Structure 1
């Protein structure tokens, strides 16, 4: 039996007012062993410096680099991700944050791991403040597991042959998701109407969309030992609205919801 064809990939990169980190992220995308087919920057209201950076990269970027921007209206990650998803033209959407440095096999690993009727969440390696500042100052993305300043080194071990064996790891734990490293089939996102824009402020939007996908029959899979990312240090964002978001997520769980009213349909 022939192996299914590798999907075309839209890489969505969320960012907000941190062009120094986004610069390292874009450098790491360029150096991928397998490039995505397009990159879409989901910009939640950044100032002009981010626009200038993206325009500079657009002059020579190896694949289409699309900038989707919205006015700054507080933390509106669900909204800008939906707008970016509607601009995506490829079958498979890999989603990251702009404060990540991608290991050079990141896109290749996600393509190999992709499987119909499922969505994927990966993990991240945490870099401390000192290492993060050093990389930003030097404009370098050279990181190894021996680098001083990595907190959870185990998440950086890459052994692709083990990834399939670990795909059911913590499968029943909906809180075990990393929105900064996820992948979906575009048609599955359309089916559940994308992210729920009732979620504002930090937290739970990724868990909630995961619940709706699961309720729709889309299986959650975890990618370990592959698709590795390194997280650039920053202070934690405020969690002021988390109680409200927790209530929204609980409603999705109790009602077994598969669709949100305020989602992708606004932009299609």
Structure 2
């Protein structure tokens, strides 16, 4: 087996049906020199059981990083996952995002010192999210617009994300009005760059904590590169009970300060000023199918 050179962090919380589909997506990748690090924000035991069950089916190793459920603490578990990545390069996505078979290949192809990569997603409605099977993922049928239209996918310019070849992707990436930001569902960068800015700000809950990390990367001299039409994931639908305006407002205030003061470091990240806090308690880390 070739040496691993990429770690893929997938965040999850009590969503095993969606996570299973995502893991199948990574089992279908053209580039295979990676590990998956599951950042588990306090799921019940079903997630651990799923990972153990799939251990013999997946070609890649899984590192399961779990901490106790204290509400929405995604920033905390992501920081713990970063520390448990065993390679120099990190791709981040979510447990509700099925990667196209060239997803990892595209991130590896375009990675470059001094840059982070900003990918895109293709949002699916609930009926299609539920309909996608293991076979649909392995055959790539679920990335076929004509097949999706049979399940009532609506016409949209966004369908170009699934229809773009190399030249069209290049042109669309060049002219898209969307900023190349750090997107929690699809972004990648060098571990040393992420650690150098102290990872995620753990004061931040739902609403832009990923973008704030990207803003500090930019403030530290790391440039963003747009690959939203090259590296594509299918975003499965789900309710968002953790979404609330108070959290969003707090996060926007933190982001405003980061931009105005051009902050490169957060004292509320991987390295903490406090000697003992709940946030810096060790996570429980379990490794499955790790092959030398």
Does the CA-based 8 Å contact 1:12-1:94 persist in structure 2? yes
* 1:130 paired residue number: 127
In 1, Cα distance between equivalents of 2:192 and 2:169: 24
Q: Residue 115 of structure 1 aligns to a residue in which SS?
A: coil
Q: Residue 179 of structure 1 aligns to a residue in which SS?
A: coil
Q: Tell me: CA distance 1:171–1:254, structure 2 relative to 1, closer, same or farther (3 Å).
A: farther
1:170 CA displacement: 6.2
Q: Residue 64 of structure 2 aligns to a residue in which SS?
A: strand
1:61 CA displacement: 2.4
Match of 1:98 among 95, 99, 105: 95
Match of 1:188 among 184, 190, 193: 193
Q: Residue 197 of structure 1 aligns to a residue in which SS?
A: coil
1:150 CA displacement: 3.9
* 2:248 paired residue number: 242
Does the CA-based 8 Å contact 2:88-2:190 persist in structure 1? yes
Unaligned runs of 5+ in 1: 1-6
Q: Tell me: CA distance 1:63–1:263, structure 2 relative to 1, closer, same or farther (3 Å).
A: same
Does the CA-based 8 Å contact 1:166-1:223 persist in structure 2? no
- For 1:148-227, list aligned pairs within 5 A: 148=149, 149-150=152-153, 152-161=158-167, 163=169, 173=179, 177-200=182-205, 202-227=206-231
Number of positions where the alignment pairs a residue of Structure 1 with one of Structure 2:
260
1:225 CA displacement: 2.5
Q: TM-score scaled to structure 2, two decimals? A: 0.82
* 1:31 paired residue number: 28
* 2:287 paired residue number: none
Q: TM-score scaled to structure 1, two decimals? A: 0.89
Q: Tell me: CA distance 1:120–1:53, structure 2 relative to 1, closer, same or farther (3 Å).
A: same
